[in-house]
Amino acid sequence: LARGTGGRDLAGRHVVVSAGGTREPIDPVRFIGNRSSGLQGYALARTAAARGARVTLVSANVALPDPAGAEVVAVGSAEEMHKAVLAAAPGADAVVMAAAVADFRPSGYRASKIKKAEGAEPEPIRLVKNPDILAELGRDRRPGQVIVGFAAETDDVLANGRAKLARKGSDLLVVNQVGENLTFGRPDNEAVILGADGSQTEVPRGAKDALAEVVWDLVAARLDPPTT
C-alpha cells in the first residue's frame, strides 16, 4: 500500500533489525567471521525509519554510517547479538534477522594470544553451538508480532527455504541464492520471500533498498491494525 507513495505506514510501530556478521573470538587478536557487509540490514533499518517506524538496529561488525533515525546497538559475537535482540524484541511489532549469525563458536576463549610452538602441530579449535536467535524469536513471540528471517542457500534454494521457514517458526523468510560474487558486499540483491501462509514473492535483482521496501510491505500486511 505504502510502497512508492512515501507513506508512513509504519508510524507508531517499533521494529528490531539485526545486521552484519558476528565474530566469534578465538584469542585477543583472532576470530571466526563471515562475509556479511551489513548493507541489507542497514537498508531495512533506513527504509523502516523512513516509513515512520521506531527502529532498533542491532549491528555486528559493519563499516557503515548509522542509518538516519535508527537507534544502533553495536555487538560483536553471536552471544552478544542474542542478548541484545532478545532484550529489544519483547515490545517490538516486528523483528527482522538480517544478520549472519555464526552457528558455532570456539568452545574456549584463550585470554592469551596463541603462539606457534617450535616443531609442534597447531591445536585444533573445538567448536560449540551458538543459540539460534531466530528460532527463539519464533518460539517466544507475542501474539501479532511478525518475525522475519533471511537465508542464503545454494542447491535447491526454494525447498531449503521452505524447510527452514517451518523449522524456525518465522512468518517470512527472505531467501537469497548465494555463490561466487552474488549477494555479499554488493549493493543489489535478488530474492524470493516465502510466507508461512504459503505465499511466495519474487523480488527481481535490484537495490537492497528495493528489497527492503518489499519486506516492509509484507510485514505491514501482517501487522494487527494499530490500537488507537
Positions annotated as catalytic residues are: 34
Q: In which region does residue 214 sit, left (phi positive, over 0), alpha (psi from -120 to 50) or beta (all else)?
A: alpha
Measured CA to CA, the distance from residue 145 to residue 151 in angstroms comes to: 20
Query: CB-wise, 150 or 216, nearer to Ca ion?
Result: 150
CB of 153 to ligand CTP, least distance (A): 7
Q: Is 224 in the site for Ca ion (CB under 5 A)?
A: no
Number of alpha carbons in the 13 Å side-chain half-sphere of residue 162: 8
Among 103, 140, 156, 224, binds Ca ion (CB under 5 A): 103
Measured CA to CA, the distance from residue 132 to residue 115 in angstroms comes to: 32
**Which range, of 53-61, 66-74, 127-135, 139-147, touches ligand CTP by CB under 6 A?**
127-135
Is residue 214 classed as helix, strand or coil in its secondary structure? Answer: helix
**Which residue number has the CB closest to Ca ion?**
103
Output the CA–CA distances (angstroms, integers) from residue 82 to 9, 42, 157, 183, in the order listed: 28, 18, 26, 24
Among 36, 51, 95, 150, binds ligand CTP (CB under 6 A): 150
**In the range 76-115, which residues lie near ligand CTP by CB under 6 A?**
78, 97, 99, 101, 103
Q: Is 146 in the site for ligand CTP (CB under 6 A)?
A: no
Q: Which residues bind ligand CTP (CB under 6 A)?
A: 78, 97, 99, 101, 103, 130, 132-134, 149-152, 164
